[in-house]
A and B are shown apart, each in its own frame.
Chain A
Amino acid sequence: MKQKTPVAKRPHRLRREIARNVDAYLFIAPFFLIFFVFTVLPVLTSILLSFTYYNILEFPSFVGLQNYFNLFLNDDVFLLSVKNTLLIAVITGPIGYLVSFLFAWFINELSPTLRAIMVVVFYAPSISGNVYMVWSILFSGDAYGYINAFLLNLGFIFEPIQWLTDPKYMLTVVILVMLWMSLGSGFLAFVAGLQTVDRAMYEAGYVEGVKNRWQELWYITLPTMRPQLLFGAVMSITASFSAGDVTSALCGFPSTDYAAHTMINHLNDYGNIRFEMGYACAIATLLFFMMIGCNQVIQKLLRKIGT
C-alpha cells in the first residue's frame, strides 16, 4: 500500500521525513542535478529574458512587459502565427492522438510477428527525420507533381494547383503531412503499454460478460492504460503546438503571405535571424503557457475514461 505522509507542518517533523527518505533522494539526485542545471536554469533564464531587450551582443536591458505589448498590439504576423498554430494544434493534436492509439490497438490485435513488423512500418517515418521532404515532390505545384497529375488525369481539376505556395491550400497540406507524421512517441508508448496490460484482467473481464473487442477496449484496456494515455497526450500537445519544421520545409520560410507561419517559425525568425532574443523568449513563454493550459484541460478529460 502506498503510504500517504502529510507534509510536515513543524520543521523538525519535516527534517525527520527527509532523513527517513535519504535513499529516495539519492536515487533521484543524479537526474535532478542534471535536470536543474541544464533544463530548469535555461528555461527560467529564458522567461526572465522575455522581459528584456536582448540582442545577444549587448547585456540585456529590462523593458518590462514591452515585448508582450508589442506581440499583441503591434505584430500582426504574430497574431496570424497564433491563429495558425492553434488551428494546426486543434486538428492534428486530437486526431493524431486518436489515430496513434487506434493504430497501436489494431496492431496489438495481430500475431506477435506481424505486430513487430507493423510497429516498425508505422514508426519508421518518425525515425527517418527529414523524409517528409518527399511530400514536397508529391505536392509539387506544376502539372507533374504526383497529386496534380493524378487530379488532372481524373478531370477533377483543369490546371495544376499551387499546393505549397497558394495560401488557400498551404495549411491543409501542412496539416495532412503532420497527421502522417503523428504516429510518434505517443504511438510507441501505446504499443508498449498495451503489452503491459495484465492478461488476467482480460480473463476476468470475459467471465464477467465482456463480449467483444470493443467492450474489452473500453472497460479493461483503456482504464489500465491511463498512464500511457496521459504520456501520449502530453506528447501530442508538444508535437502539435511546436509545429514549425514541417511548415518551413514544405512551404518555405517565410511562407507566402505568412499563411503557414507558426509561433515556432516566428520565434526562429526573431531569435536566429533578427537576433531579438528578448522578443523570441516572450514568444516561447507564451507558447509554454498555451501548452500548460491545454495540458490541464486534457488531464481533466482523461480522468473520465472508463467511468
Chain B
Amino acid sequence: MATKSASRAARHNSRLHGRSRAGNTVNFLFLALMGAFMLLPMIYAVSSAFKPLDELFVFPPRFFVRRPTLDNFSDLFLLMSTSWVPFTRYLFNTVILAAVATAGNVIICSMAAYMLEKRKFPGSRVLYKSVELALMFSGAVTAIPNYLIMARLHWIDTYLALMIPAFATPIGLFLMKQFMGSVHDSLIESAKLDGAGEWRIFWRIVMPIVRPAWQTLIIFSFQSTWNMTGGTFIFSEELKTLPSALSQVLQGGIARTGVSCAVALLIMIIPIAVFITSESRVLETMGTSGIKE
C-alpha cells in the first residue's frame, strides 16, 4: 500500500511540470477572490434563514444577521407538524424518488452510451443525433403531450410518471458518451479475447474508468430529481414530494417570510451535501483514474 500511495504522489507531482511558484500563488489568490464573490448570495441566504422577522424587514436591508435565531426553523416544523400528512412522509417520498431515479438514470444512460460510443451498428448514428437534438428543445411546450401520454399509460398519480422519464435523460446519455470515448478500444478488445461478455466489460472495465463521468451525472440527476414537485402528475397528498409540500407552506404569504428563508436553505442544503460527498469520493479515486492501458 505504501508503494502505491508513493507512486500516486509521484504521479501527482510530475504532472506539475513547468509551474512557477508565483503563477501558483496568483492562481490561488484569484480563485479565492472569485470564490468569495460566488459565495456572497449563498451566505446571504444562510444568514437570512437565521434572521428574526424584524431583521428580515428592516430597512435598509442588512446582509448579515445581528441576532441569530432558530425561530424560522421551529416555525417551519410547527407548521409541518400540523399538516395532514406527516412531514417525514414527504421527506421519505422525495428521498426514494431521488435515489431510484438517479440510480436508474446513471445505469440506463451509461449502458446506451457505451454501445453508441464503442460499436457501430445500423441506426446508431441516427439514434445518437436524435438525443443530441432533443437536448435543445424547450420543455415548456411538451407538458401537454406528456400529460396525454401519462394518462394513456394510466401512470397519473403514480411515481412511474416521475421516475421513468427521469431514467432516460438526453443530458445523461450525452455526458456518458462523451466520456466513454476516453476508454481505449484496445482494452475492450483484450477483455473480449479473454472471453469477457459485453456486460462484464461494461460493468467491470468501462464503468470504473469513467468514474468521474458518472459521479458528475449523479450530481446532475440528484439535483433535478430532488427538486421534483410532482407537477401535474401527482394528486394524492401522501404521494407529494418535499418541494411541493414546502411550496404549500409558502402560500401563507408575507407572514411566512421567515419560514420561506428557512425552506430555501433546507431545500438547497441536501443536494449540496450530496455534492460534497461525491466530490470527496472523486478525491479518493483520483490516483487510479490515470490507468488506461
Contact A131 B264 (CB under 8 A): yes
CA distance in complex: A38, B169 (Å): 10
Q: Is B15 an interface position by the 8 A CB rule? A: yes
Q: Is B230 an interface position by the 8 A CB rule? A: no
CA distance in complex: A288, B231 (Å): 24
CA distance in complex: A137, B273 (Å): 27
CA distance in complex: A109, B21 (Å): 12
A28-B111, A32-B112, A192-B216 known; A41-B149 Cβ under 8 A: yes
Max count, chain B CB within 10 A of own CB: residue among A20, A28, A123 = A28
Q: Is A110 an interface position by the 8 A CB rule? A: yes
Contact A28 B127 (CB under 8 A): yes
Chain B residue with Cβ nearest A212: B18
CA distance in complex: A284, B137 (Å): 7
Instruction: Looking at the assembled complex, report how far the CB atom of A55 sits from the nearest CB atom of chain B, in whole angstroms.
Output: 11
| Chain B residues with CB under 8 A of A32 | 112, 127, 168
Q: Which of A31, A120, A268 contacts B108 (CB 8 A)?
A: A31
| Chain B residues with CB under 8 A of A272 | 140
Q: Which of A34, A281, A295 contacts B141 (CB 8 A)?
A: A281
Q: Is A252 an interface position by the 8 A CB rule? A: no
Chain B residue with Cβ nearest A142: B60
Q: Mark B57-73, 1 if CB is under 8 A from A, else 0.
A: 00111010000000000
Q: Is the interface of A mostly helix, strand, loop or mixed?
A: helix
Contact B135 A238 (CB under 8 A): yes
Contact B138 A242 (CB under 8 A): yes
Contact A206 B18 (CB under 8 A): yes
Contact A40 B130 (CB under 8 A): yes
| Chain B residues with CB under 8 A of A109 | 16, 19, 24, 27
- Which of B75-83, B87-95, B118-126 forms contacts with chain A? B118-126
Contact A134 B138 (CB under 8 A): no
Instruction: Tell me the number of A-to-B contacts counted with CB atoms below 8 Å.
Output: 279
Q: Is the interface of B mostly helix, strand, loop or mixed?
A: helix
- Which of B234-242, B251-259, B276-284 forms contacts with chain A? B276-284
Contact B168 A34 (CB under 8 A): yes
Contact B23 A213 (CB under 8 A): yes
Band of interface residues on B: 35 or more
CA distance in complex: A39, B145 (Å): 10
A128-B42, A137-B61, A284-B141 known; A38-B168 Cβ under 8 A: yes
| Chain A residues with CB under 8 A of B292 | 198, 200
Contact B15 A199 (CB under 8 A): yes
A227-B179, A268-B140, A295-B136 known; A122-B35 Cβ under 8 A: yes
| Chain B residues with CB under 8 A of A41 | 145, 149
CA distance in complex: A215, B177 (Å): 28
Q: Is A113 an interface position by the 8 A CB rule? A: yes
Task: List, sorted by A's number, 27 A–B pairs whose CB atoms are closer than 8 Å.
Answer: A3-B120, A20-B121, A25-B121, A27-B111, A31-B173, A32-B112, A34-B167, A35-B131, A39-B134, A41-B145, A45-B145, A46-B137, A110-B31, A112-B12, A121-B35, A121-B39, A122-B35, A127-B271, A131-B44, A185-B220, A199-B14, A199-B15, A211-B18, A212-B18, A238-B136, A287-B138, A292-B136
Give the B-binding residues of A (Cβ under 8 A).
1-5, 7-8, 14, 17-18, 20-21, 23-25, 27-28, 30-35, 37-43, 45-46, 49, 56, 103, 106-107, 109-110, 112-116, 118-125, 127-132, 134-135, 137, 140, 144, 146, 149, 180, 183, 185, 188-189, 191-193, 195-196, 198-200, 202-203, 206, 210-213, 215-216, 224, 227-228, 230-231, 234-235, 237-238, 241-242, 264, 267-268, 271-272, 277, 280-281, 284, 287-288, 291-292, 295
